[in-house]
């Protein structure tokens, strides 16, 4: 019995000594994830004891930004960083997307380094606008149904998730393909876009009708497009040809008309320059017409008669 009591005593003392040894040993906090949005303020606290600390500093992506003397200047957090020396906590204000990254707190107690505490900060852009949903529907005559394809898009950057709700069913992804029957009533498709800090939703109502025909084969559509294009080119060529022929005919007709001006020119007593006529003007300057009546027939005077000629023809002067 005495041996049993000694064994219990030794066990108790061992546990007590181990508790005293671990009194000053603090459990490590290796890594923490923090998600916040643009413009927010976040406080990073190591959770470690501040008693007897001889060294304390904060680093961002390996670069020291604060220590026990205060926050450093000329960093990307200049004017937005606050370091509390009594708690060694770090406060970041006016967060931006570029502030995302790793923050580490390094400290030593009585010149013995303690475990490094790491914070991984994720800054997200909040979703402030409803997502946009586009849809297309194809009618199937064989079974009187429609294949509806919907696409949801968010007006934001960064990682987002898409979730569709149709009745009691849910689907993931930005694109959804769904089958509707003609007898179905208007179907509501709810698209929700979310990230870890915000979410927005919108509803699209779709009905099934035979207004949309079966899609044509790609080859058939291409052949039809080629036929239409060739016909258009032929029409343009014919139009241009007709226009050119009409223009040339008009020009040739204008040339003929310009040559058919006047066949006969007026006959004047005095020719002016070189008249334009088909008949050449005979210059009769050598035989000047004597003064007197300007007529075809002249006055016959007896004293102008000459002696009789032996010619059978009478000579008139």
Nearest partner of 119 among 65, 158, 156, judged by Cα: 65
The reply to whether domains 29-124 and 132-206 share a CATH topology is yes
Average pLDDT score, the chain: 75
**Residue 105 near residue 45 (C-beta atoms within 8 A):** no
Grouping H, G, I as helix, E, B as strand and the rest as coil, residue 31 is strand
What does the pLDDT look like over 245-264, one tens digit per residue? 777 767 666 554 544 444 44
Class of domain 29-124: mainly beta
Strands in 175-181's sheet, in edge-to-edge order, are 132-140, 145-153, 175-181
Q: How many helices, marked H, and strands, marked E, lie in the chain?
A: 2, 17
User: Token digits for 77?
Assistant: 């957090």
Measured at the CA of 256, the angle between CA 250 and CA 260, to 5 degrees, comes to: 140
Residue 103: burial class (beta carbons within 10 Å; 0-12, 13-18, 19+): buried
DSSP E strand boundaries for the chain: 31-37, 42-44, 53-60, 63-67, 70-71, 81-84, 89-92, 101-109, 112-113, 117-124, 132-140, 145-153, 161-166, 169-172, 175-181, 187-194, 199-206
What does the pLDDT look like over 21-80, one tens digit per residue? 444 444 555 689 999 999 999 999 988 888 888 889 999 999 999 988 888 888 899 889
User: Token digits for 236?
Assistant: 């343009």
Between β-strands 31-37 and 117-124, what pairing exists: parallel, antiparallel or unpaired?
parallel
Grouping H, G, I as helix, E, B as strand and the rest as coil, residue 69 is coil
Domain ranges across the chain: 29-124, 132-206, 216-285
**Phi, then psi, of 255 in degrees rounded to 5:** -65, -40
What percentage of residues in the chain have a pLDDT greater than 90?
41
What does the pLDDT look like over 192-242, one tens digit per residue? 999 999 999 999 999 998 875 444 434 444 555 666 677 776 777 778 777
Q: How many CB atoms lie within 10 A of CB 177?
A: 9
Asked if CATH classification 2.60.40.10 holds for the domain at 132-206, the reply, yes or no, is yes
Tell me the Ramachandran region of residue 308: left when phi exceeds 0, alpha when psi lies from -120 to 50, beta otherwise.
Answer: beta
Residue 50: burial class (beta carbons within 10 Å; 0-12, 13-18, 19+): middle
Q: How many CB atoms lie within 10 A of CB 93?
A: 14
């Amino acid at each position: 019995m005495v041996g049993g009591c000694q064994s219990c005593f030794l066990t108790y003392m061992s546990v007590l000594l181990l508790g005293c040894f671990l009194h000053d040993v603090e459990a490590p906090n290796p890594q923490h994830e923090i998600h916040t949005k643009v413009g927010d303020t976040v406080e990073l606290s190591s959770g470690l004891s501040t008693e007897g600390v001889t060294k304390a500093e904060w680093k961002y992506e390996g670069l020291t930004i604060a220590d026990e003397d205060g926050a450093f200047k000329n960093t990307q957090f200049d004017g937005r960083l606050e370091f509390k020396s009594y708690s060694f906590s770090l406060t970041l204000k006016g967060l931006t997307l570029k502030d995302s990254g790793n923050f580490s707190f390094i400290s030593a107690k009585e010149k013995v380094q303690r475990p490094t505490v790491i914070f991984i900060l994720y800054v997200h852009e909040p979703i402030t606008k409803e997502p946009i949903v586009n849809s297309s529907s194809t009618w199937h005559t064989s079974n009187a149904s429609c294949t509806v394809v919907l696409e949801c898009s968010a007006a934001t950057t960064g990682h987002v998730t898409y979730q569709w709700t149709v009745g009691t069913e849910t689907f993931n992804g930005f694109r959804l393909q769904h089958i509707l029957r003609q007898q179905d009533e208007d179907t509501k498709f709810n698209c929700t876009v979310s990230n870890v800090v915000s979410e927005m939703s919108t509803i699209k109502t779709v009905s099934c009708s035979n207004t949309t025909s079966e899609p044509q084969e790609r080859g058939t559509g291409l052949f039809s497009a080629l036929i239409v294009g060739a016909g258009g080119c032929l029409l343009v060529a014919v139009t241009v040809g007709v226009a050119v022929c009409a223009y040339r005919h008009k020009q040739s007709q204008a040339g003929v008309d310009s040559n058919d001006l006047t066949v006969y020119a007026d006959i004047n007593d005095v020719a002016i320059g070189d008249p334009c006529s088909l008949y050449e003007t005979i210059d009769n300057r050598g035989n000047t017409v004597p003064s007197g009546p300007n007529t075809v027939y002249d006055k016959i005077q007896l004293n102008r008669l000459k002696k009789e000629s032996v010619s059978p023809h009478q000579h008139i002067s």
